[in-house]
């Protein structure tokens, strides 16, 4: 069975493509390479001995996208990763974020409708909960306005996707996966996260500090009402997250879904503080991370973690890899990337 993966050369996309190929699916990737590199295809091939089809196309370009979809109209589903994803950047560049994330999704839906692909899995995010009044966060927890155009774009796409599925068109069903904090890398260290410029996220900042690219990590706030005062998040290994996509896909293609549009939290269900992540990283990798306590980062919540019981019950999925495996794989990837891939 063929699956079209948008954003498939990116961080989560590339790990998911590996698991799809391993599970026996055929894959066709569409990605404009804005935040990824074509060489990831070679590394996917090294890991899986299979090479996905690929075209460098901007999903906002309807004509080029449609020609790609016509070539792959035998696909049974789309996994839609393609998006701009930097929360802080989206506040400064709102028009661009809305244009890219919504525009690409509109075109995608039109292409799917034109060629008749019935199923979609959408990359949603824990950011769509906005402020988190209850922990752990459940799928039906109240949603509040998000603090960024990025988060709002994810909320809007949810509405558009639901309405599209209800409407009269070829897109018949979909699953949104709400990721918590994906980190880590494939055990081969051949693929991983390589942010452009100064990282915003904790793990890339830690690995880049440990390898000497950054002087010091700023720990944003040590006065939260949490066990050690630093903020707590639900970190999820990217390979576990990739497995969740395969399970969600199997649910749709095997027609096991209970409603046409379903939503699952994908988290480990366990919170770690910033200091606990640093401790695990130093212990597992035998390397020091320079850090200093800094003021809170505006917009950050003290704590959030997922209730992923629904994914466990309905997708038969749960996180398998622990925080030690996450930080060890992230470090192995950083070392490989700096030695072999950095230009
Ligand atoms: P990524 O930037 O590594 O991958 C996204 C890919 O989409 C990139 O390869 C980029 O080149 C491509 N892309 C962007 N706009 C495109 C367009 N118009 N046309 C074609 N390709 C385009 O990001 P990621 O971390 O792998 O995230 C994948 C998805 O998961 C995104 O939708 C993101 O919002 C979502 N998500 C990510 C996180 C996270 O922490 N990484 C958390 C929650 C949700
Ligand atoms: N964080 C930090 N220093 C950094 C980056 C992040 O202390 O340089 C903290 C941040 O305040 C949050 C946690 O690490 O509590 C995870 O942040 P990240 O940006 O990775 O993900 P978020 O949960 O904000 O989406």
What size, in residues, is the chain? 343
Q: How far apart are CA 254 and CA 302, in angstroms?
A: 40
* Cβ atoms < 10 Å from Cβ of 235: 27
The closest alpha carbon to 79, from 128, 151, 30, belongs to 30
Ligand 1 and 60: CB distance under 6 A = yes
Give residue 132's pLDDT.
64
What spacing in Å lies between the alpha carbon of 124 and ligand 1's midpoint?
10
Ligand 1 and 284: CB distance under 6 A = no
Give residue 343's pLDDT.
64
Per-residue pLDDT 10s for the chain (343 aa) are: 999 999 999 999 999 999 999 999 999 999 999 999 999 999 999 999 999 999 999 999 999 999 999 999 999 999 999 999 998 899 999 999 999 999 999 999 999 999 999 999 999 999 989 876 689 999 999 888 888 999 999 999 999 999 999 999 999 999 999 999 999 999 999 999 999 889 999 999 999 999 999 999 999 999 999 999 999 999 999 999 999 999 999 999 999 999 999 999 999 999 999 999 999 999 999 999 999 999 999 888 899 999 999 999 999 999 999 999 999 999 999 999 988 888 6
* Contact call for residues 111 and 103 (beta carbons, < 8 A): no
Q: How far apart are CA 343 and CA 336, in angstroms?
A: 13
Pocket residue to mutate for ligand 2, from 147, 274, 280, 296, most atoms within 8 A of Cβ: 274
Ligand 1 and 34: CB distance under 6 A = yes
Ligand 1 and 182: CB distance under 6 A = yes
Q: Is the pTM of this model over 0.85?
A: yes
- Whose atoms come closest to the Cα of 214: which ligand? 2
Give the single-character DSSP code of 297: P
The structure tokens listed for 57 are: 């196309």
* Contact call for residues 50 and 23 (beta carbons, < 8 A): no
Give the single-character DSSP code of 224: S
Q: How far apart are CA 266 and CA 271, in angstroms?
A: 13
Give residue 342's pLDDT.
80
Residue with tokens 């992230």: 330
Give residue 42's pLDDT.
98
For residue 11, indicate whether it is catalytic: no
Q: How far apart are CA 337 and CA 213, in angstroms?
A: 13
Across the strands, what pairs with 29?
5, 54
Which domains does the chain carry?
2-183+236-266 (3.40.50.720), 202-234+269-341 (3.90.25.10)
CA-closest residue to ligand 2 atom 12: 231
Q: Is 12 helix (H, G, I), strand (E, B) or coil?
A: helix
Give residue 146's pLDDT.
86
What spacing in Å lies between the alpha carbon of 3 and ligand 2's midpoint?
33
* Contact call for residues 224 and 4 (beta carbons, < 8 A): no
CA-closest residue to ligand 1 atom 43: 125
* Contact call for residues 160 and 112 (beta carbons, < 8 A): no
Alpha carbon dihedral 170, 264, 95, 55, in 10-degree steps, equals: -60
The closest alpha carbon to 15, from 181, 174, 179, 190, belongs to 190
């Amino acid at each position: 069975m063929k699956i079209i993966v948008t954003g498939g050369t990116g961080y989560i996309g590339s790990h998911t493509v590996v698991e799809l190929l391993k599970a026996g699916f055929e894959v066709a990737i569409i990605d404009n390479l804005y935040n990824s590199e074509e060489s990831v295809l070679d590394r996917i091939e090294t890991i899986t001995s299979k090479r996905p089809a690929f075209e460098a196309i901007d999903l906002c370009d309807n004509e080029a996208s449609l020609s790609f979809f016509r070539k792959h109209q035998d696909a049974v589903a789309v996994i839609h990763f393609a998006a701009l994803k930097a929360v802080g950047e989206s506040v400064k560049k709102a028009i661009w974020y809305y244009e890219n994330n919504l525009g690409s999704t509109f075109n995608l839906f039109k292409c799917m409708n034109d060629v008749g692909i019935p199923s979609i899995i959408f990359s949603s995010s824990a950011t769509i909960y906005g402020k988190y009044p209850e922990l752990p966060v459940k799928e039906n927890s109240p949603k509040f306005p998000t603090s960024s155009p990025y988060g709002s774009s994810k909320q809007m796409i949810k509405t558009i996707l639901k309405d599209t599925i209800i409407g009269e068109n070829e897109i018949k069903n979909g699953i949104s996966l709400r990721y918590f904090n994906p980190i880590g890398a494939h055990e081969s260290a051949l693929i991983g996260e390589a942010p452009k410029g100064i990282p915003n996220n904790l793990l890339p900042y830690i690995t880049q500090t440990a390898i000497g690219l950054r002087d010091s990590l700023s720990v944003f706030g040590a006065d939260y009402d949490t066990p050690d005062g630093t903020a707590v998040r639900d970190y999820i290994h990217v390979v576990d997250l990739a497995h969740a996509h395969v399970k969600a896909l199997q649910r749709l293609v095997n027609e096991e879904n209970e409603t046409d549009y379903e939503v699952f939290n994908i988290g480990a269900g366990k919170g770690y503080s910033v200091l606990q992540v640093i401790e695990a990283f130093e212990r597992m990798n035998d390397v020091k991370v320079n850090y200093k306590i800094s003021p809170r980062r505006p917009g950050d919540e003290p704590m959030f973690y997922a209730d992923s019981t629904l994914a466990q019950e309905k997708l038969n999925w749960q996180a398998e890899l622990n925080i030690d495996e996450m930080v060890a794989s992230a470090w192995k990837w950083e070392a490989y990337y700096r030695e072999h891939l950095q230009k």
